[in-house]
Structure 1
Amino acid sequence: MIEIDEIDREILRALRRDARVKTTELGRRLGLSQPQAWRRINRLEEAGVIRGRRLILDREKLGFGVTVFLGVKLALKGRVSLSDFERAVAAIPEVQTVEHVLGLYDYRLRVVARDIADFERILRRRIMTLPGAGDVEANVLLSEERLEGPIG
């Protein structure tokens, strides 16, 4: 477990807002030199606190206007390995996330599609043909507000 102080938390908050911020600018904001800021970021990366930096794309501007959350219950537990299902679902480009969950369903998927007709095609031809796929429940995303998680 890595010790994280308030300066580390401020660095994480700044990088969460803009992962492209230069260490010179970050250091200036926090009263650190550029090398001090770089060393702190590097330490957080090496400890696995920072696991990567992402490019966030606007799905709608790319033509994907529908997002659906699917609950998928496996029909043949024990006869289909979870890794087979996970490997097959991860190969579907429209599936953005695959989460193995406890509850009524075994998996929660985030699926993007161009429109409802496109989603129906993805559901029928790709998701329902996955090894072990059983009951499915779909919830169409109406709006989304991104809430930032805790930094401690």
Structure 2
Amino acid sequence: MRFPIAATGFACTAAAATLVLSAGTASAADGNTQTTIYTLANPGICAGIIDAGVGHYPDSAALGLTGMLYGVGPCSVELTFHFKRQGDGVTADYTRKLNGPGAVGTSKDIVQPGIGIWDVTVTSNGASFGAQPMKIDIPKYEG
């Protein structure tokens, strides 16, 4: 089955935006919370368009990945969310593996880097470009 790249990219972007919006109420300190990364995968001959998103709950962050790996497989790519807290520079990394070719993604994945304002970047273990920095404010749970 063949998918037009433009239509698939739009669908993936819409799915990631829905994930991010459903992850929790945005805080005033939040910046961009969704980005697209174009990446090569291996060991097969695959290239991917992956939408990555980050949202938050009290004391937690929600990670999301959706997209397509196009090519001849099997192939896989590892994407890492790098969190760096503003102010003290504390870091946390979360890596997720996507297998293709075909539609790829993760469910809403909850992680706990800690409270505070975080700069978040996404990198690939393959050659990639396009990912823009994201920023979220993870509030303390006040239950």
Regarding TM over 0.5, the answer is no
- Which structure is higher in helix share? 1
Query: Normalising by structure 1, what TM-score?
Result: 0.24
In our comparison, the structure showing a higher alpha carbon Rg is: 1
Query: Normalising by structure 2, what TM-score?
Result: 0.25
